[in-house]
Structure 1
Amino acid sequence: MSTAGHSETTAPPGLDITPFRGLRYDPDRVGSLAAVTSPPYDVVVRPDGVHHLQSADPHNIVRLILPQAATPDERNDRAARTLRHWRAEGILRTDPDPGLYVYEQGDGDGLVQRGIIGTLRLPDPADGVVLPHEDVMPHVVADRAALMRATHANLEPLLLTYRGDDGPADATGALVERTAAGPPLLATTTEDGHHHRLWSMTDPAEVAAVRSDLARRQALIADGHHRWATYRRLRAEHSSPGPWDYGLVLLVDTARYPLRVRAIHRLLPGLPLPDALAALHGLFRVRRVDADLPDALEALAKATQDGNAFLLAGDGTFHLVDRPDPDLLARTVPADRPAAWRALDATVLHTTLLDHVWHVPADSPDRIAYIHDTAATVEKAERDGGTAVLLHPVHEEVVRDLARQGVTMPRKSTSFGPKPASGLVLRLLES
């Protein structure tokens, strides 16, 4: 039998998605489902965000994904004990039948996104089935791996995107829509105004149809590069076959449900804004922008149409940084990468500004923080006397094209969304 013009012996393998018995909150044992959910761990990060979620409900998922204790070992032990306790008390219960899960989220502006949650067999990187597009930070991978070892669980899915078909050939899309027309397992609205609904797909014929359809696809990692690297590290540590051969994922067809792409900003706590601006003299054009944050971001968006541009903040005003010196870029940006990679704002930020102008190591958590929320980045820079570096988002097709070439972008270059809420369905790694 042939697929897309190739025989089965020559066609590359595709996505191998499998059903599983999800671990979910018992709605009768918690105050509300909304109160026990959380954004993904790397969106929360700030202590005030963790404390807010902990106070929302004693069983909030943040106690598992970001446990609080004096040392890393104590944090992971606490998460493992908490998970065991919640299971023993019936706070978390395992679904009786294995299945795939249809997940829907939407906002008040009409955005609706649906996808499939399942366990994905981890392919060989050389197969090109799952395409990463960003570098990762080793200390974050080590942290996530230690947590997964301690809990023996995938506590939150990573987000993968793929391109489905139009018309009757799109079996997965048709089954997602059919499933979403029925009554959900759960429905809740979180405090950000987003609604979340979850359905199970347990019919063997439907599951088989989805698996067959997705076996023709490749996927782009939209969110969760560190969790993906963690899955791969842990698989290498365990014998195969076994549960560590798989990882929990959410697959979204962006032909049907396009994601939004936002930038992830940088906070340089040890670099006062006047010092950052002084170091740019003669290397970039710097202009003060006397405007509020939305208008300053509009000025940044306009400037990026003509080349690399950044918006700096930290003293109550904004400063637009653009028109880098061509000789500086020639000296600092590696020439052995595709032109699209060399032209990325994130590339110029990391290779030119951080490495050569400001001398800030991109993998040092004491020297740099990566923050999704624009206003929070500015506020923290102003409060702590550091520098906020705001970026304009890159287009999804640029990301996908580079990933297909096997070229990774600098770490934390993009933020695809909406991101799945953590706490709706977990996966235990049991042999």
Structure 2
Amino acid sequence: MTSTDGLRLLPFRGLRYAPDRVSSLTAVTSPPYDVVVRPDGVRYLETADPYNIVRLILPHAADPSARHRQAADTLARWRADGVLTPDPQPALYVYEQRAGDVLQRGLIGALRLDGPVLPHEDVIPEVVDDRAQLMRAAAANFEPLLLSYRGRGTATGATAVIERTVRRPPLLATTTEDGFAHRLWAVTAPADLAAVDADLAGRQALIADGHHRWATYQRLYEQTPGATPASPWACGLVLLVDTARYPLQVRAIHRVLPHLTPEAALTGLGGAFRARPLPADLTAALAALDDAAGNAFVLAGGPDTFHLLDRPDPELLARTVRGDRPESWRGLDATVLHSVLLDAVWRVPDRPSDISYLHDARAAVAQAARHGGTAVLMRAASEDTVRQLALEGVMMPRKSTSFGPKPASGLILRTLDA
């Protein structure tokens, strides 16, 4: 699609769970599909309620086509049975997440794909292909991705609409197991919708979380016969947050290398990094990582075996890290991990069967232990670094950073068959 100068966030008729058809809203929600730890997390969510959203976002069957058809059939059945029901009129949705001192508010809507949206990570083609087949079969966006933009940081424009709206009773309210309270409101007043539209007209967004879903939206539009800029396929479901008003949290995404034993990982270093044993405590290991200067990682072979890798060989860095990128990119931990350790030292193939990405350090350590492999625990890059590289058009290594809090899946869906 031809790019436009600003963002267009359009109202849509949200598809939501009927409260009287499920045990609770908490029991039918899920983390985003790429955060659920498989297979244990999938099984846990499936048993929480027979209508848990994980049956749509992570269906499991003998082959991919069967999985996608299963999700589509499940969605059709739940709609026909009144488990999922459409809201009476199109709306933008104010979405609030709160836990302790963390408060995030934003707008959920159907964002036109021709707006200025900046990616900062590459995507895995196989994942985009799988997500595209799933969404095409179901004709639905199951979960919003997370976008950020820089507003004025004051209660004007879209932010004023949000902060007026949250004074009203919400459409739904629930608290998920991670301790976050979630609330949702519909915005339908023409004056409010016009205020949002005018405020976003000169904005650009950064993909905070959901690069694969954004790439999927674009592929679906390009590959859907007869799709026009006015069709549902020309938009994708997003949560848009003004980080000048509601700063995002930035966390690391860890790697699990199931086929590389901890012993092989350490002996294979060959002086590439200094390796030091750490106390047999994950919290202490992560604290040591945070305190380390320069590029550093924690290698974990199980819940009580940790080593800090730091002080990489400068000559090796110069030889293996691309020289045609900005210094801020060359110095990223994720850049050094992939260019130096994974590619040059350990020679781990860049494919899903050899590298898994987990957002939770404890889950990464546990998964590595189950497979007899190695977890590489990471630190997060700053939002300012991510945004600056995105503005320069420089892609970070995939899964470099996790922004949050992420929207819970299952609170609102968007159908594409209307």
Q: Distance in 1 between matches of 2:70 and 2:396?
A: 35
TM-score, normalised via structure 2 length: 0.97
Q: Contact (CA 8 Å) 2:171, 2:183: kept in 1 or not?
A: yes
**Of 328, 336, 339, which residue of structure 2 is paired with 1:348?**
336
User: What letter corresponds to residue 409 of structure 1 in structure 2?
Assistant: M
Q: Contact (CA 8 Å) 2:56, 2:75: kept in 1 or not?
A: yes
**Mapping of residues 28-427 of structure 1, within 5 Å:** 28-107=20-99, 109-123=100-114, 129-167=116-154, 170-238=156-224, 239-241=227-229, 242-303=231-292, 306-315=293-302, 316-362=304-350, 364-427=351-414
User: What letter corresponds to residue 101 of structure 1 in structure 2?
Assistant: Y
Q: Deviations over 1:298-340 (max 9, x none)?
A: 111111xx21101001053211101111111111101001110
Q: Which residue of 2 aligns with 1:22?
A: 14
Q: Distance in 2 between matches of 1:355 and 1:270?
A: 15
Cα offset, 1:82, TM superposition: 0.4
Runs of 4+, deviation exceeding 4 Å: none
Q: Deviations over 1:68-106 (max 9, x none)?
A: 111111110100000000000000011111010000111
- Unmatched runs of 5 consecutive residues or more in structure 1: 1-10
Q: Contact (CA 8 Å) 2:18, 2:85: kept in 1 or not?
A: yes
Q: Distance in 1 between matches of 2:25 and 2:305?
A: 41
Cα offset, 1:281, TM superposition: 2.1
Q: Distance in 2 between matches of 1:380 and 1:45?
A: 9
User: What letter corresponds to residue 258 of structure 1 in structure 2?
Assistant: P
Q: Contact (CA 8 Å) 2:4, 2:114: kept in 1 or not?
A: no
Q: Distance in 1 between matches of 2:9 and 2:381?
A: 29
Q: Distance in 2 between matches of 1:147 and 1:50?
A: 17
Q: Contact (CA 8 Å) 2:256, 2:375: kept in 1 or not?
A: yes
User: What letter corresponds to residue 78 of structure 1 in structure 2?
Assistant: Q
- Unmatched runs of 5 consecutive residues or more in structure 2: none
User: What letter corresponds to residue 267 of structure 1 in structure 2?
Assistant: V
Give the root-mean-square deviation of aligned CA atoms.
Answer: 1.2
Q: Distance in 1 between matches of 2:129 and 2:153?
A: 41
SS at match of 1:183: coil
SS at match of 1:270: coil
Cα offset, 1:409, TM superposition: 0.5
Cα offset, 1:383, TM superposition: 2.8
Instruction: Tell me the number of residue pairs that the alignment of Structure 1 and Structure 2 aligns.
Output: 412
SS at match of 2:239: strand
TM-score, normalised via structure 1 length: 0.94
The alpha-carbon distance between structure 1 residues 297 and 178, as it changes in their structure 2 partners (threshold 3 A), is: same
User: What letter corresponds to residue 12 of structure 2 in structure 1?
Assistant: F
Q: Distance in 2 between matches of 1:420 and 1:249?
A: 9
Q: Deviations over 1:344-396 (max 9, x none)?
A: 0000111111111111122x121111011101111222232111100011111
Q: Distance in 1 between matches of 2:51 and 2:101?
A: 30
Q: Contact (CA 8 Å) 2:299, 2:377: kept in 1 or not?
A: yes
User: What letter corresponds to residue 149 of structure 2 in structure 1?
Assistant: Y
Cα offset, 1:424, TM superposition: 0.6
Q: Distance in 2 between matches of 1:85 and 1:335?
A: 54
Q: Deviations over 1:81-139 (max 9, x none)?
A: 000000000000111110100001111x2211110000010026xxxx11101110000
Cα offset, 1:291, TM superposition: 4.3
Q: Distance in 2 between matches of 1:300 and 1:281?
A: 21
User: What letter corresponds to residue 13 of structure 1 in structure 2?
Assistant: D
SS at match of 1:44: coil
Q: Contact (CA 8 Å) 2:153, 2:242: kept in 1 or not?
A: no
Q: Distance in 1 between matches of 2:79 and 2:266?
A: 53
Identity %, equivalent residues:
65
SS at match of 1:314: strand
